Amino acid sequence: MGMGIAIGVLGAMVIGLVILLKGQPDTSAEVDGASSSTAYEGTPLEGPAPDFRLKDQNGTLVSLADFRGTVVVLTLLDPVCTDICPLYAHQYRLAHQALGEDAANVAFLAFNANNEKTSVDTMAAATKKWGLDKMPNWHFLTGSPETLESVWSDYGLSASGQPKPDKPDEKQHSPAIYIIDQAGQRSRFLSTNFEGAPPASALIVEHVKALLAPGHSG
């Protein structure tokens, strides 16, 4: 599939997904502004990010508290997805590469978005398939369906929704990226579910570098 077709698929399919941001600021102004002279910068957030305890692709128990002192980039991926999630994973790889030495101070995480595909082996297979195994600070997080649903709710995310047309194993979910600062505080919400948004990798790098800048209080 050519890049132009892939981007078209991304735009067409992600626009149809539901974003439920419980307790988050209204993002409509930012979305509308993406087509104006003001570039989309995401939605500033504040307050502590909810903690969690989930297993990653290596079977290691991971909590948000484990990354205190590190900037956390957190998204939501379906491990059996064959269209949008691989593109999000590609954006993670691009961001990791662009950060250079700063990448050592960043953790890239994803919650499993499919409550019917929850095994550690499934997370490991997706990690390898998407080339994320080259990132030492990558964690694809999963747990029981009940645990995952609790985490999605804590973060105001919609996941494991209706099966995609002609893809019964793949579930619709929110297209969302959170940036969490070194103190475990929510810093920014990013969404690329509209035409004209900068690449997710560029947004990630911009906001991560701001948090890592000397003098930042996070």
Q: Is 74 helix (H, G, I), strand (E, B) or coil?
A: strand
Q: What is the structure's pLDDT at 78?
A: 92
Cα-based torsion angle of the residue sequence 87, 89, 102, 190 in order, rounded to the nearest 10 degrees: 70
Catalogue the E-assigned strands of the chain: 43-44, 53-55, 61-63, 71-77, 106-112, 138-141, 163-164, 167-171, 177-180, 186-190
What global pTM score does this model have?
0.79
Q: Scan for tokens 């900037």, then name that residue.
A: 71
Contact 89, 132 (CB under 8 A): yes
- The answer on pLDDT for 7 being more than 50 is no
Q: What is the mean pLDDT of the chain?
A: 81
Lowest mean pLDDT among 30-34, 158-162, 198-202: 30-34
pLDDT-wise least confident of 47-61, 66-80, 82-96, 121-135: 82-96
CA 89, 62, 110: angle at the middle one, nearest 5? 20
pLDDT higher than 50, residue 28: no
133 and 177 Cβ atoms separated by less than 8 Å = no
3-state SS assignment for residue 133? helix
What is 3-212's CATH number, 1.10.443.10, 3.30.930.10, 3.40.30.10, 2.30.110.10?
A: 3.40.30.10
